Structure 1
Amino acid sequence: MRFGLILGAALLLCGGVAEADIYAYTDNNGVVHLTNVPAGNDRYRMVMRTPKMPVAVARADFNRMARARYQRLIQTAASRYGVSSALINAVISAESGYNAGAVSPKGAIGLMQLIPATADRFGVADSFSPVDNINGGTAYLAHLLRVFSGDLKLAVAAYNAGSKAVIQAGYHIPPFAETRAYVPRVLAYYQKYLGDSGNAADVAPRPVVNAAPQLIQISNP
């Protein structure tokens, strides 16, 4: 069990300030239950004492550590497919905030939020796997950059809305509110990471184990 993941999940339990201790227990099915208010339940044991800080600050620190974990995979995919690592980081930041277990209401999965059709198209066996997801998402970005002759805005728009929508819009950003908000957001991240010389991590990256995600249940008191 990785306590960094526990901290990130437990912060969702808090309100405006993250200051509660974090308690956990594992049930008979191997599911990890987390809470910041054990409410007298003697199954919980304290696993982490968190400092008092605004939730936004705590989440930013968690995201910074999560970014660092995936930089080796991102750099490998960038070299393999000829896509800027800054762009890969920008898409991951906008899509999932470096949450490898993210699932959207539309069924997009993982770090780069791949829908099943895109995952199948680019040979992604397990969209929850950071290795598979980053490789598949980067291959898709490389494809879109070729389709739109290196036009970054159109490639990013197509990542969100699909190539067909961009083409039908006359090779412009489609008139969808979501896409028109998404493109400048990704490009802002892209410029930020370019300014960091392509290094989106503030600390040295650690190897990522390509394993199935652990099921975590966040329990209410």
Structure 2
Amino acid sequence: MRRRMLSAETFKKQRTHATPVRATCLSERSKQKALPSRARRAEGLVILALFLTLAAAPLARAEYAVLRNGQRLHITGYEHLATAYRLQMAGGLVDVAAEDVVAFEPEDSFPAPPPPAASLNVPFGELIRAAASKHGVDQELIASVIAVESNFNPRAVSPKQARGLMQLLPETVARFAVTNVFDPAQNIDAGTRFLKQLLTRYDQDLGLALAAYNAGPDRVEQYRGVPPFPETRMYLRRVARQLDEHKKHKTDGGQTADSTQPAPDSR
């Protein structure tokens, strides 16, 4: 009986000593819940900031992807992969080989179209001015190219099957979705768009852009400059001569002619 009482007394003492320890643990937990430490709070803020940053980070931003073939694609973003670029477009994602992408250009890098001048005394002057204003290409340059390409004959056809005022090849017609290559408005608009792409591609180097318009961008890339073709060299000289005449006429204060009558075919 005494042995059982001693055991009960011992148990009572152990219970008495254990109670403060349990109370202390509960007190520490309550403090942690009621007053979180500065370290915990700072850690939470860092995690939150990192999450918001990652959630808000888009793909690398750009407005236009300039391709080696002269095409300019409107994009909302892009991602650089191992050997390609993943372009984010309105219709979805498109992967393009890295070697086919020349540059990425923000939309605001293209200057505003120059104000139209009333000094272009050539046929189809209104259409030329409209295309120049729309695409940001010098109107005298467009007129000079037309003069050399077709002598303002909208029905001109070359032995290489280049057609219309700006002598568009079949692949150019398809690229710009031209439905009637002999329609002056469509032909001038597509030819001007092509000129704009070439000027952008060659960093506004007019000689290279015109050489590519005449001989093709592949030839310019092949020779790393103006190809040594007599036809292309002569083409550059003729366009330069026409451009000088238009600029001189503009300085002299010539008036714009809105005639739609083509000049005689020189081809």
TM range (shorter): 0.5 to 0.7
Equivalent positions of 1:158-169 (< 5 A) are: 158-169=212-223
> Is the alpha carbon distance of 1:199 and 1:83 closer, same or farther for their aligned partners in structure 2, counting shifts above 3 Å?
farther
Equivalent positions of 1:35-46 (< 5 A) are: none
TM normalised by structure 2 equals: 0.50
**Partner residue of 1:186 out of 214, 235, 239:** 239
* 1:18-43: CA deviation from partner (whole Å, max 9, x where unpaired): xxxxxxxxxxxxxxxxxxxxxxxxxx
2:149 alignment partner in structure 1: 95
> Is the alpha carbon distance of 1:120 and 1:187 closer, same or farther for their aligned partners in structure 2, counting shifts above 3 Å?
same
1:155 alignment partner in structure 2: 209
> Is the alpha carbon distance of 1:120 and 1:189 closer, same or farther for their aligned partners in structure 2, counting shifts above 3 Å?
same
Asked if 1:138 is matched to 2:187, the reply is no
Amino acid at match of 2:146: I
> Is the alpha carbon distance of 1:198 and 1:76 closer, same or farther for their aligned partners in structure 2, counting shifts above 3 Å?
farther
How many angstroms apart in 1 are the aligned matches of 2:192 and 2:212? 13
Aligned-CA RMSD value: 2.2
Q: Between Structure 1 and Structure 2, which shows a larger proportion of helix residues?
A: 2
How many angstroms apart in 1 are the aligned matches of 2:145 and 2:134? 17
| Kept after mapping to 1: 8 A contact 2:123/2:152 | no
| Structure with larger RCO (C-alpha < 8 A, sep 6+) | 1
Question: SS at the partner of 1:197?
Answer: helix
> Is the alpha carbon distance of 1:117 and 1:156 closer, same or farther for their aligned partners in structure 2, counting shifts above 3 Å?
same
Amino acid at match of 1:137: G
Asked if 1:122 is matched to 2:179, the reply is no
Higher-Rg structure is 2
Amino acid at match of 2:165: L
> Is the alpha carbon distance of 1:153 and 1:200 closer, same or farther for their aligned partners in structure 2, counting shifts above 3 Å?
farther
**Partner residue of 1:175 out of 228, 238, 242:** 228
Q: State the shift of 1:125 in Å.
A: 1.3
TM normalised by structure 1 equals: 0.60
Runs of at least 5 residues in structure 2 that lack an aligned partner in the other structure: 1-120, 262-267
Runs of at least 5 residues in structure 1 that lack an aligned partner in the other structure: 1-66, 210-221
| Kept after mapping to 2: 8 A contact 1:68/1:202 | no
| Kept after mapping to 2: 8 A contact 1:71/1:205 | yes
How many angstroms apart in 1 are the aligned matches of 2:125 and 2:251? 10
How many angstroms apart in 2 are the aligned matches of 1:83 and 1:116? 23
Q: State the shift of 1:197 in Å.
A: 2.2
Per mean C-alpha deviation after superposition, the further-off stretch among 89-98 and 192-201 is 192-201
How many residue pairs get matched? 141
How many angstroms apart in 2 are the aligned matches of 1:198 and 1:90? 16
